Amino acid sequence: MVSKTDLKKRIFISAAVLLPVCLLIFFLNIPAYHEIPVTGEIYCFDTLCSISIYNMKSMTKMNAQRAVNDALAECTRYENMLSTTKEGSDIYRLNHAKGEPVECSVDTIKLLEMGKEAGLISDGRFDITIGRVTSLWDFHSSSPELPDKEEIEKALETVNYDWIGTSGNKAVLLNEEAAVDLGGIAKGYVDDRLCEFLRERSVTSAVINLGGNVCVIGGKTTPASVGSKSESFKVGIEAPFSNRRELLQTVEVNDSTLVTSGVYERYFEKDGVRYHHVIDSKTGYPADTDLLSVTVLGPSGSSADCDAYSTICLILGEEEGMKLIESKDGFEALFARDDGSVVTTKGWP
């Protein structure tokens, strides 16, 4: 039989052993933040894509990291859907269908229709059926060459956004030689979808950056457990040809998207002439513009529009580009001129 004295000793010893375990369990359940924001990166769409979460409902590092990883996986899914070079993608199959209808995702159909609208707005200077032309230009080669003029002229004959037909979940190129290239609008569209994706996972503060296509959710807020703070996000606009070392301007934004298109992003020089990657659909050559870059600011959910508008404005030049943005409610723009000066629309922050 155990005496009362021995029983008390056993209870005391058990409690002494149990207390550290209880404390360990308690501390393990406290949200641990090694850093704010929780960030992830992936190389997609021929650029570095990053997602940073500052705050969300039930914020823990594990929850935030899971949301980041899932969103990065969405980037890969969209690239596999919209790429011109990945066999099996909607766009690859459309471009190789020889005029036959192709079953596509809802997202691809929406993007094709948005691309046609951008072609209409720009009077064809921005045309997503420019694929045959852009395939002639290699801006990644270590020793790039100019495409043959006759090849460009022949490829231009396949450019006309009116040749894109959509019905339900099917798309068709009415000219079987035409080819779609969504490079001027796809990243913006994906930015919008990623914002929706993160909001559905209760993310309240985040930054998505797809190589210059920036979308911010909410303001820059941090959880109470790390000292709750709330302020606007500060987004820097890169100075052309500065190799990310200088900023033209810093803009404070909330629930907004900014997209920059520039002639300095991909280019090569040949015989003293600079050839950049923004191709004019009317000429087949890099756009002859008085601008080095255009940054378009719009409300959350409009990144696809901002993407298209920034490219269109770069092609059109300052005067026509300014008219375009001023005609669009809720959108503003910053134009970096080729003489180094900057001009903005009236409502630019």
Q: Domain end: 127, 149, 173, which one?
A: 173
pLDDT single digits (tens) 259-313 = 999 999 889 999 889 999 999 999 999 999 999 999 999 999 999 999 999 999 9
What would the DSSP string read from start to end of 334-349?
EEEETTS-EEE-TT--
Tell me, yes or no, whether 255 and 220 share the same domain: yes
The verdict on residue 349 lying in a domain is: no
What would the DSSP string read from start to end of 267-313?
EEEETTEEEES-B-TTTSSB---SEEEEEEEEETT-HHHHHHHHHHH
The verdict on residue 10 lying in a domain is: no
The verdict on residue 227 lying in a domain is: yes
Q: Domain end: 150, 173, 196, which one?
A: 173
Residue 26 clears pLDDT 80, i.e. is over it = no
Residue 249: CATH number of its domain: 3.10.520.10
Tell me, yes or no, whether 272 and 191 share the same domain: yes
Residues 109 and 115: their CA atoms lie apart, in Å, by 10
Tell me, yes or no, whether 227 and 245 share the same domain: yes
The verdict on residue 168 lying in a domain is: yes
Number of domains the chain contains? 2
Tell me, yes or no, whether 194 and 314 share the same domain: yes
Give the 3-state secondary structure of 223-256: CHHHCCCEECEEEEEECCCCCCCCEEEEEEECCE
- 11-19: list long-range contacts, CB under 8 Å, 24+ apart: none
Q: Write down the pTM of the prediction.
A: 0.87
Tell me, yes or no, whether 156 and 242 share the same domain: no
- Pull the structure tokens for residue 324: 């375009």
Tell me, yes or no, whether 113 and 207 share the same domain: no
The verdict on residue 286 lying in a domain is: yes
The verdict on residue 45 lying in a domain is: yes
Residues 7 and 10: their CA atoms lie apart, in Å, by 5
- List the one residue out of 36, 108, 42 whose CA is nearest residue 74: 42
Residue 14 clears pLDDT 50, i.e. is over it = no
The verdict on residue 254 lying in a domain is: yes
Q: Domain residues for 232?
A: 38-82+187-344
Tell me, yes or no, whether 201 and 68 share the same domain: yes
- Pull the structure tokens for residue 47: 């650029």
pLDDT single digits (tens) 329-345 = 999 999 999 999 999 99
> Token match 């930054």: residue?
207
Tell me, yes or no, whether 296 and 211 share the same domain: yes
pLDDT for position 17? 42
